[in-house]
Copies of this chain bind each other. A is one copy, B any other.
Amino acid sequence: MTRARPALSGRGRHPAVVIATGFGAAVLIGTLLLGTPLATTDGDASHWLTALFTATSAVCVTGLVVVDTAAHWSVFGEVVIVALMQVGGLGIMTLATLIMVVLSGRLGLRARLSAQMETKSVVAADLRQVLRKVVVFSLVCEAAVAVVLTVRFLTGYAEPLGRAAYLGVFHAVSAFNNAGFALWPDNLMRFVTDPWICLTIALAVIAGGLGFPVVFELLRTWRRPRRWTLLTRITVGLSTLLLGAGTLAFLLAEWRNPATMGPLSDSGKLLSAFFTAVMPRSGGFNSLDIGQLTSPSLLVTDVLMFIGGGSAGTAGGIKVTTFGFLLFIVWSELRGENQVNIGHRRLPAATQRQALSISLLGLLLVTFATWLMLVITPHSLDRVLFEVISAFATNGLSTGITADTPLAGHVVLSLLMFIGRIGPLTLGSALALKQRTRRYELPEERVILG
């Protein structure tokens, strides 16, 4: 355990620095590798900004692209992208989990985290065991998804075994890590009515995006919802609600749209609406042409993307937990309560302020970036807002303007992806560590994990 301490809490190794350095290094290495002639199909080195944008998009598991993935990148380039997605996704899950665990022991924040994870099981657990569980869980999920996809590509689309397995693994990694990279120029639009592909990928996106603490708890207690912790209840409840509302909203607005659902059968409409409602969590795949969605659908997607997925998972956005806390605060205030109680637990004032801070800073960032993109590109508000939220929430859905934006726009979107990915994580840990100085008088013996 002592090995873990200096890395996370030693002098000069503030988690924020560790996270930013780690992701920055991965982006840098990715840029160098993708910048070689070996990485492209035509053997010419990519523009350095193309390499940087793609590496950032892969490490931050965003999925926005400035070039068509399969056409531009060679097999080597694609393997680099898979590796970056895997590193980025695992990095997020393990770092988030590490920080939650270390902070819960180190800062006397057990009261707070007990509202977020089951104290006994996680806090008391061996740190390495937790990390091992994250890695094993990721690899098992990805393997299962890869097998299903491979079989489907093999039997349903007559791909040779090697190619089918390659496609299976690439999209399994991309889906579980909520990355959204695909090896077809139309993303997954050709599979819009194929439930094997769509449902498998949707499930992988959901599993990766729920967040490790929730998934772990669900695996143990899925039969007994009454024993779920608050984190799991809020995440599962709100996710289901948003998923249902999104599906309905897309059905309503796209049913007769000849460029999207119009030509599909009723079951195809339903499948595509569900798939489109899952992806804003931050999967970022699309089976409908996002650029052809009606404006109400774009707005619904904006909102869903901004909220994003679960905490400590591969999803982006402000997280359903944060959004849920905000709703509970408002609800308590409307009821005239003096405290915010969820279930039988009190939401600490610090957590309330943290939820507010993450949301408001996200909103200000998105608003400012949208203004900037409106100034430097000729595109309309609905498309610019969509692309900005997609980058901030590391989502990767696109109306198509990312590829059609001046270089300055690519820099803005790259920064948004990076901030959107490491921002909430570093902000959360930084906020919690700052508090630590106020609690300096706490006896060091209270450190469980040190």
Contacts and interface: CB of A to CB of B under 8 A. Distances in A.
Interface of A: 249, 252-253, 294-296, 298-300, 303, 326-327, 329-330, 332-338, 340, 349-350, 352-354, 356-357, 360-361, 367, 370-371, 374-375, 380-382, 384-385, 431, 433-435, 437-438
A333 B354 contact: yes
Contacts of A340: 353
A438 B371 contact: no
**Copies of this chain in the oligomer:** 2
A97 B12 CA distance: 52
A317 B219 CA distance: 46
In order of increasing CB-CB distance, the 8 nearest A-B pairs are A336-B434, A381-B382, A296-B374, A333-B353, A333-B357, A330-B357, A295-B374, A296-B375
Given A296-B371, A370-B299, A438 B356 contact: no
A340 to B, nearest CB: 8
Contacts of A437: 336
A298 B337 CA distance: 39
Nearest to A327: B360
A333 B382 contact: no
Of listed A349, A354, A374, residue having the most chain B CB within 10 A: A374
Nearest to A373: B296
Contacts of A381: 295, 298-299, 380-382, 385
Of listed A298, A340, A433, A434, residue having the most chain B CB within 10 A: A434
A438 B338 contact: yes
Given A380-B380, A385-B381, A371 B299 contact: yes
B349 A329 contact: no
Nearest to A302: B367
B371 A431 contact: no
A380 B300 CA distance: 15
A389 to B, nearest CB: 12
